Amino acid sequence: MPATDARIAAVDTYDIRFPTSRELDGSDAMNPDPDYSAAYVVLRADEPGEPEGHGFAFTIGRGNDVQVAAIHTLRHHVLGRSVADLCADPGTLYRDLTSDSQLRWLGPEKGVMHMAIGAVVNAVWDLAARRAGRPLWRLLADAEPEWLTAQIDFRYLTDALTPDEALDLLRRGRKGAAERTEHLLTTGYPAYTTSPGWLGYDDAKLARLAAGAVADGFRQIKLKVGADLDDDVRRCRVARAAVGPDVRLALDANQRWDVPEAIRWTNALAGFDPYWIEEPTSPDDVLGHAAVRRAVAPVKVATGEHAHNRVVFKQLLQAGAVDIVQLDAARVGGVNENLAILLLAAKYGVPVCPHAGGVGLCELVQHLAMFDYVALSGTTEDRVVEYVDHLHDHFLDPVVIRAGHYAAPTAPGFSAALRPESIARYTYPGGAFWAADAERTEGRTA
């Protein structure tokens, strides 16, 4: 990366909300009316030639202002720091942020404050990859194992994963990386699609979208379940008929059930040969997931999008609670913490099938999955990245899906940057869309 005396001069935050609830896109058993939103941060240097670093936390509407306020609270850790130093070692900032003792009390390492840390840390990685002129997945895949290991905070992990074990996994992961990079550039990374399966869609739309997904090359689709068992039986029948016996059908309960109910409900749908049941119960319930897993096999148990930090993932693996690790790019403390989670999964031999969707989660997480394939797990077997066809047009470097695969990004960065015109239009409450919306509402009630 180029030498520079540049320092971070601005940590700008934006409350960006998209009015997705009006279309019932994204509706599930726990989230009937999400307005997909981003608490968005841009790091700007004091030299005009330096790129910006973009990052965000994903929320679903109300409270996005609280998330923005949390990011704002971190800015004194970033302002004035050397851009070159930050990019050479994002791990130091990550540890400074998680070690701020006063802010730590608000978590620790969970919820609003931890997602804020993730947004800022990811913005630094976006900046680092832009300065290096490379997509993040390549920056990570080409990095020295020693350097990657140093990016991880092993606190609370050493009973399951030590730095030496991580280093060993990363060194072994590099064998064959060049061939896998070529394969990835040619073929892409397998995706599955959730777009057919939202609860708000009727059966005809479900059948049409499910068949369309298979025609588009997807080998797995996902259905939201958990609101009503009779409905779910019918919808599973419709979906299975539409995709045929050989395409995987994943189910997602979005935390709807208690443990006994999760077992009953999943087993009641077993006849449709579901591949996994996702978020069957509270994301905090490691022992609950383990109990569900024992009772619903061979249906697999998947969770992780709401697992709030590496300690939860550690326990899910220690307890044998999951068949599938669904890390999320913007829920935990950024790339650094996700490196730890990828290594934990590699150590336990459990496949990672990242959560995506929302605002920009597909854009971010593809980089982590591709790094994992090229330089850690070395395989895409039983691995797929979620794909949802929402809101990609708002990004400068949107994901590209071809024949059911994510095309490997080639633009520099973490694919995190929203278009300036989208930021302007959807900033809440003052952006053009929301201002006009408020006027419409006033017009109706006047």
Distances (CA, A) of 419 to 65, 415, 422, 426: 20, 11, 5, 11
- Residue 24 is a binding residue for a copy of itself (CB under 8 A): no
- Residue 163 is a binding residue for a copy of itself (CB under 8 A): no
| Contact region with a copy of itself (CB under 8 A), list: 31-39, 132-140, 217-225, 340-348 | 31-39
Residue with Cβ nearer a copy of itself (54 or 310) = 310
- Residue 230 is a binding residue for a copy of itself (CB under 8 A): no
DSSP string, 211-223: HHHHHTT-SEEEE
Tell me the two tokens of residue 313: 């993932």
Q: For residue 103, what is the enclosing H or E element?
A: helix 101-104
- Residue 70 is a binding residue for a copy of itself (CB under 8 A): yes
- Residue 23 is a binding residue for a copy of itself (CB under 8 A): no
Q: Are 95 and 109 in contact (CB under 8 A)?
A: no
Radius of gyration of the chain (CA): 21
Residue type at 416 in one-letter notation: A
Q: How many residues of this chain bind a copy of itself (CB under 8 A)?
A: 62
| Contact region with a copy of itself (CB under 8 A), list: 64-72, 79-87, 202-210, 438-446 | 64-72
Q: Give the one residue of 308, 390, 392, 405 binding a copy of itself; rule: CB under 8 A.
A: 308
The CB-of-165 to a copy of itself minimum distance in angstroms stands at 14
Q: For residue 386, what is the enclosing H or E element?
A: strand 385-387
Tell me the two tokens of residue 153: 């905070």
Going through 84-219 in order, the beta strands assigned E by DSSP cover 189-197
Q: Give the one residue of 78, 152, 253, 312 binding a copy of itself; rule: CB under 8 A.
A: 312
In the residue annotation, 224 being an active-site residue is answered as: yes
177-198 burial by CB neighbour count: b if 16+ within 10 A, else e? beebbebbeeebbbbbbbbbbb
DSSP class of 200: T
- Residue 112 is a binding residue for a copy of itself (CB under 8 A): yes
- Residue 155 is a binding residue for a copy of itself (CB under 8 A): yes
How crowded is residue 269: how many other Cβ atoms within 10 Å of its Cβ? 22
Name the active-site residue from 54, 314, 355, 394.
355
| Contact region with a copy of itself (CB under 8 A), list: 151-159, 230-238, 425-433, 436-444 | 151-159
In the residue annotation, 355 being an active-site residue is answered as: yes
| Residues 6+ positions from 22 with CB-CB distance below 8 Å | none
Q: Determine the 3-state secondary structure of 271 from DSSP.
A: helix
- Residue 168 is a binding residue for a copy of itself (CB under 8 A): no
- Residue 311 is a binding residue for a copy of itself (CB under 8 A): yes
Q: Give the one residue of 2, 260, 271, 429 binding a copy of itself; rule: CB under 8 A.
A: 260
- Residue 92 is a binding residue for a copy of itself (CB under 8 A): no
Q: Are 138 and 432 in contact (CB under 8 A)?
A: no
Residue in 179, 118, 166 with CA at minimum distance from that of residue 342: 166
Name the active-site residue from 54, 224, 300, 390.
224
The contact set with a copy of itself (CB under 8 A) reads: 30-35, 59-63, 65-67, 69-70, 73, 100-115, 154-159, 255, 258-261, 281-288, 291, 306, 308-309, 311-312, 314-315, 318-319
Residues with a catalytic annotation lie at 224, 355
